[in-house]
Amino acid sequence: MVEAGRSPNIEILTNSDLLSIKGKPGSFKAKIVQRPRYIIAEDCTACGLCTTYCPRHQEDEYNENLNITRPIHIDYPQAVPATYYIDPRSCLSLTHDTCQICVPVCQSKAIDFSQKPEEKTLEVGAVIMSPGFGRISEETLAKYSYGKHADVVTSIEFERLLNPSGPFAGEVRCLSDNRHPHKIAFIQCVGSRDIGCGNGYCSSVCCMYAIKEAMVAKEHDPEAEITVYYMDIRTQGKDFDAAQKRALDKGIKFVRAKVADVMPWGDHLRLTYSTLDGNHSFKPYDMVVLSVGLESPPDAQKLADMGGFKLNKYDFCATDTFTPLATSKDGILVAGAFNGPMDIPESVTQSSGAAGIASGLIKKQRGKSLIHKTYPDEKKMGDEVRIGVFVCHCGINIGSVVDVPDVSTYAGDMEGVVYYTESMYSCSQDAQEVLKDKIKEHDLNRVVIAACSPRTHEPLFQETLKDAGLNRSLFEMVNIRDQCSWVHATEPDAATDKSKDLVRMAVAKARHIQPLPEQTVPVNKTGIVVGGGIAGMTAALNLADQGFNCSLIEKQDSLGGNYKKLVHTKKLIDQVKKHKLVSVYTNSGLQQTSGFVGNFSSIISSGKGTKAKEVTLDHGVIIIATGANEHRPETVLGNTIKYSKNIVTQSELAEQLEGKGKSRAPKSVVMIQCAGSRGDDLNYCSKTCCTTAVENALTIKKINPDSQVIMLYRDIRTYGYAEDLYQEAREKGVLFIPYEMDNKPSIAEKGSKLTVSFFDPILQDDITMNPQMVALSVGMVPEETDTLSKLLKVPVTADKFFMEAHVKLRPVELPVDGVYVCGLAHSPKPVNEIIAQAQAASAKAAMPLVKGYVTVDPIVSNVDKETCIGCKLCTSLCPYQAIRMVKDENNRPKAETIVASCKACGICASHCPTFAISMGGFTNQQINSQIEAFGRDIKEKETETA
Amino acid sequence: MAKAKKSREGTVMVLGGGIAGVQAALDLTDLGYYVYLVEKSPAIGGVMAQLDKTFPTNDCSL
């Protein structure tokens, strides 16, 4: 978010509504109207004084109306843009033409009641729709006494209750009487899987967020008794089952039941539910959390009409399985929950994918409007240390606790300090100008700023240094807000002393800091994709469509992978073969890869027998799309399995059903879900088997409505729109019977006679039957991830799928820069998700190629070859494979940092036995001087007291 | 904040400033395009900004 706020190439237009879009790919005209904020964004310093003086109250929407704020406010301190706004619905000036207290209060004169709505026309080459999702109607929630009893809350309200910035500062309290709830119930599928409210689909995310919220609530109060009432636990995502297991281990209860109602019951709530055996029970709770689903956004139809694209029957954006990110209108793409309910990693993946497609559509326009910032030349460093210290009040945030003038004067006495000052808001726009002027006026060559967190503000100040002709490394930041005024809010003297300590240490370090060069490494603008299935082909085509050469490496003698038979796959193969920028290598495999992002070199073995040869390819990026195979377990739920024409996997059944004649559909079939998955043989859920099985069941019913289809399952995971198929299958007479892991079904085969026995929880009886066929939903296993993982030095999960750099925010990048993953090699998933992920991986892979060079953070590690003894400890410890061994002129092994891969974590430097490694900006000398500066004061104090 | 140059080519509009929109905007700039990020509320971030910790890293969502 902050990154978006800071980018010179993103113009954020808040308070804005779309009025119309017209045009075609390459040239759209979008009209928007920007509603007034009544505050001049450039002048607002976000000091908060206006809110303090505003006399009017209003509900705080950011906190789900659980507490109050004022009409003039900011939602939360880190909001982007960090500018206050006035809510015209409640402001006295805007509703009753009176008050305006805020106007004289504002020191920077940022309030402007004369602002009017402003229309703008944007000329753009492509459009991405990401309006998010809507809320489930209160009418649906009212069934569970929501609105009637304060302690029935939605999951998003509960999220705010858990949050430290929430209404009770992170304490979970009942809204009725402020007590801490001891018994909490979660009700799943509220507003989802509910044709009563028109939402037949599954919202896909609620099971997982309920588990997370329950676990966080348990952290807040380990004694809390938490029960989750569910129909099916749908934790089909990567490593999600493991999260549910952790929840179970923490004592969170899961009850498979339908909740009939929630009623006030004295001080409590009474929850009535019915279990599968037909029994009704009720239990008292202090708080009931409704796991609300995701609805289409309220303005979906309006957007669709303006954009000229279609919605599906649930009013989400309509997309096709094979073009999951394209709306029905050319040049308008879709990403995130507007494309159907999905979680954060999925949304992030879709966004990258959509950005990549847009980039391909208008590649001829690339870079034409991009703003490249330029900086003055860096000035030469003299020998004299000239430090400037700037201490920030942050309005009252620091200034009301820490004696800022005292700290500032204290700094003035220190060695090397030639200028010191205090400022009200050192981050404000005008303060940057002051900083620049003072650097010039006093010829400063090092800057220390004592203010807030470097995490959020260091880049801003470094930018200003660069503008003033100083290297950005000549900067030290002291956090006297978080570490002094916040944590010692009640002890102003101690907070002031600590501020002085921290400033003294920073100045001591600053005396030793040196300019560090900004390094760049050029990039080879080609990519390779390993794996020629749907994922690999989609990724290769996308990369090529964006204008980059790409080699596609496939192990088999033809492309297509698991989905060879799909019409779409055949089309893809054709496109790949025709594309000028894609070179296909079949019967090929990756043998060796060396190098780093932008500069990889790989050896490919290509061809069979006498035609076999080795090819060396130089490339800038690599995408892994090696896929997965059907898992064929020899035992299923404790039964030894001999696959035959009567005991088949779901994919074999699907193949059989493709034929002709009524007899291809078995007269009776028992389908067994999670055969080998979810703890039986494989630990994880294979995500696609439930939907595939339901599809097969429906096909059987279509061919022969009299066929008997029974599905034994643990949780039916037909998430998203696939829930419609599940609903249809039940209507068509497919029987769904759950089994538990402590009472597993048994399968026996005698001659051609099959016997399946299981416990039916509805009839509460053991059932034995003799179906014509048993179909096993066997799940999938990743292919050869071990070899590739070693070759590319990228990690795999315990389940042998490739492990992404960050589950939520970097779902297609691997921890080694320049290496990306998509498709089944990442985790099991259906075709539409595979394609979206492949599009995302190719978009990410295109980034270094577009840029043409890799920038290296100057704080990377540096090995002093003289001191290095070549022990290789650092190379074995480096988590990013950023240190390699080279030979020096005397042929002795020496470590060397690959600067393009180094993340400056410092592990190597802290472990080096001979102190041969130093980190830019964190040298031993600098750190020692900081420690000495800290100790010096203690010594002085000791002397004083003695 | 600097405004777009006179050239209108090579720009993309992203409608909606939640996690999806922000990610799309950032990626587009990395792919060489200027982005208009249009958001109906006074700040970007969407629902993600309201979330407490996120699974599984417990990272703050901001």
* Exposed / middle / buried, residue A790 (Cβ in 10 Å: 0-12, 13-18, 19+): exposed
Q: Name every chain B residue with its beta carbon within 8 A of the beta carbon of A359.
A: 28, 31-33
pLDDT for position B61: 43
pLDDT for position A596: 86
A698-724, pLDDT tens digit by residue?
Answer: 999 999 999 999 999 999 999 999 999
Q: What is the mean pLDDT of residues A421-430?
A: 82
Task: Give the domain-ending residue among A761, A781, A801.
Answer: A781
Q: What is the mean pLDDT of residues A338-364?
A: 96
Rounded-to-integer distance, Cα A278 and Cα A713, Å: 19
A449-482, pLDDT tens digit by residue?
Answer: 999 888 778 888 998 999 999 999 999 999 999 8
Q: What is the mean pLDDT of residues A25-41?
A: 95
Give A574's pLDDT tier (boundaries 50, 70, 90). Answer: very high
Q: Does residue A394 carry a pLDDT above 90? A: no
pLDDT for position A555: 95
Q: Does residue B4 carry a pLDDT above 60? A: no
Q: Does residue A551 carry a pLDDT above 60? A: yes
pLDDT for position A806: 86
- Tell me, yes or no, whether A229 and A254 share the same domain: yes
Rounded-to-integer distance, Cα A841 and Cα A812, Å: 6
pLDDT for position A896: 93
Give residue A383's identity as a one-letter amino acid code: D
A 12-41: CB under 8 A from B:
12-18, 28, 30, 32, 37
Q: Does B2 touch chain A (CB under 8 A)?
A: yes
pLDDT for position B56: 47
- Tell me, yes or no, whether A726 and A816 share the same domain: no
Give A647's pLDDT tier (boundaries 50, 70, 90). Answer: very high
Cα Dmax for chain A: 102
Determine what percent of chain A is predicted with pLDDT higher than 70. 99
**Owning domain of residue A249:** 138-292
Tell me how close the Cα of A648 comes to any Cα of chain B, in angstroms. Answer: 37
A219-270, pLDDT tens digit by residue?
Answer: 889 999 999 999 999 999 999 999 999 999 999 999 999 999 999 988 899 9
Residue of B nearest to A133 (CA): B47
Can you name the residues that pair with A782 across neighbouring β-strands?
A628
Q: Are A404 and A500 in contact (CB under 8 A)?
A: no
Tokens describing residue A717: 């995971």
Q: Does residue A785 carry a pLDDT above 50? A: yes
Q: What is the mean pLDDT of residues A387-402?
A: 89
Q: What is the DSSP letter of A733?
A: T
- Tell me, yes or no, whether A143 and A284 share the same domain: yes
A413: in domain: no
A487: in domain: no
Give A938's pLDDT tier (boundaries 50, 70, 90). Answer: low
- Tell me, yes or no, whether A826 and A747 share the same domain: no
Lowest-confidence segment of A73-77, A360-364, A413-417, B12-16 by average pLDDT:
A73-77
pLDDT for position A937: 65
Task: Give the domain-ending residue among A827, A851, A875.
Answer: A851
Nearest by CB to residue A850, choosing from B32, B37, B54, is B32
Q: What is the mean pLDDT of residues A906-925?
A: 93
Q: Does A566 touch chain B (CB under 8 A)?
A: no
- Tell me, yes or no, whether A876 and A843 share the same domain: no
- Tell me, yes or no, whether A876 and A840 share the same domain: no
Q: Where are the domains of chain B?
A: 12-50
Determine what percent of chain A is predicted with pLDDT higher than 90. 81
Pairing of β A27-34 and β A16-24: antiparallel
Top residue of A40, A58, A128 to mutate, by most chain B CBs within 10 Å, is A128
Q: Does B59 touch chain A (CB under 8 A)?
A: yes
ipTM surpassing 0.95, yes or no? Answer: no
Rounded-to-integer distance, Cα A577 and Cα A793, Å: 31
Structural domains in chain A (count): 5
Instruction: Give the residue ranges of DSSP H helices in A181-253.
Output: 206-220, 240-249
A328: in domain: no
Cα A690 to chain centroid, rounded: 26
Rounded-to-integer distance, Cα A785 and Cα A137, Å: 46
Q: What is the DSSP letter of B4?
A: P
Q: Does B60 touch chain A (CB under 8 A)?
A: no
pLDDT for position B58: 45
Rounded-to-integer distance, Cα B62 and Cα B47, Å: 11
A299-329, pLDDT tens digit by residue?
Answer: 999 999 999 999 999 999 999 999 999 999 9
Give A943's pLDDT tier (boundaries 50, 70, 90). Answer: low
Contact call for A62 and B53, based on CB within 8 A: no
A431-445, pLDDT tens digit by residue?
Answer: 888 999 999 999 999
- Tell me, yes or no, whether A125 and A8 share the same domain: yes
Residue of B nearest to A36 (CA): B42
Top residue of A3, A12, A316, A374 to mutate, by most chain B CBs within 10 Å, is A12
- Tell me, yes or no, whether A168 and A264 share the same domain: yes
How far from each other are the two terminal CA atoms of chain A, in whole angstroms? 53
CATH of the domain at A666: 3.50.50.60
A380: in domain: no
Q: Please list, in sequence order, all residues whose beta carbon lies within 8 angstroms of the beta carbon of residue A840, skipping any fewer than 6 positions away.
A: A349, A350, A351, A352, A353, A356, A811, A812, A822
Rounded-to-integer distance, Cα A57 and Cα A731, Å: 52
Rounded-to-integer distance, Cα A17 and Cα A219, Å: 41
Q: Does residue A609 carry a pLDDT above 90? A: no
Q: Name every chain B residue with its beta carbon within 8 A of the beta carbon of A12.
A: 1, 17, 37, 39, 44
Query: pLDDT averaged over chain A?
Result: 93
**Residue showing tokens 């989609």:** A538
Residue of B nearest to A239 (CA): B56
A914: in domain: yes
Residue of B nearest to A806 (CA): B57
- Tell me, yes or no, whether A647 and A760 share the same domain: yes
Q: What is the mean pLDDT of residues A567-593?
A: 95
Pairing of β A183-190 and β A16-24: unpaired
pLDDT for position A372: 85
Q: For residue A490, give Cα distances in angstroms to A293, A401, A484.
A: 43, 8, 10
A431: in domain: no
- Tell me, yes or no, whether A274 and A251 share the same domain: yes
pLDDT for position B2: 43
Between helix A723-731 and helix A689-703 the angle, nearest 10°, is 40
pLDDT for position A610: 85
Nearest by CB to residue B31, choosing from A62, A350, A359, is A359
Give A519's pLDDT tier (boundaries 50, 70, 90). Answer: confident
Nearest by CB to residue A1, choosing from B12, B13, B45, is B45
Give A876's pLDDT tier (boundaries 50, 70, 90). Answer: very high
Q: Does residue A342 carry a pLDDT above 60? A: yes
- Tell me, yes or no, whether A558 and A599 share the same domain: yes
pLDDT for position A49: 87
Lowest-confidence segment of A573-577, A604-608, A835-839 by average pLDDT:
A604-608
Task: Give the domain-ending residue among A95, A129, A163.
Answer: A129
User: Which residue would you say has higher pLDDT here, B53 or A116?
Assistant: A116
Give residue A294's identity as a one-letter amino acid code: L
- Tell me, yes or no, whether A162 and A283 share the same domain: yes
